[in-house]
Amino acid sequence: MRRMFGFLIGILVGSLVGSTIALLMAPESGENLRGQLRDRGQGFMNEIRHAADSRRIELRGRLEALKAPRE
């Protein structure tokens, strides 16, 4: 599980660095570039929140299952 988490973090960091470099090298005006960065950043944060919420729900379900009396 730890190796999988490390791998996913590596993919995430690599994609952020790669996309940032690609955007900075793009031949667009500064205003357009800032708008794109802002939109992508907000989309990225929304995805992170959604993933965290779904994981939290999953973990709460597992916790409740563990707390339930055994038959």
Q: What are phi and psi of 35, to 5 degrees?
A: -65, -45
Residue 19's pLDDT is 84
**pTM score above 0.85:** no
Q: List all residues 6 or more positions away from 20 whose beta carbon is below 8 Å from its beta carbon.
A: none
Contact 33, 26 (CB under 8 A): yes
What is the rounded CA–CA span in Å between residue 42 and residue 30? Answer: 18
Give the tens place of pLDDT for each residue, 34-50.
888 889 989 999 999 99
- Please determine, for residue 1, whether its predicted confidence score (pLDDT) is greater than 90: no
Give the tens place of pLDDT for each residue, 12-42.
999 999 988 887 777 767 788 788 888 998 9
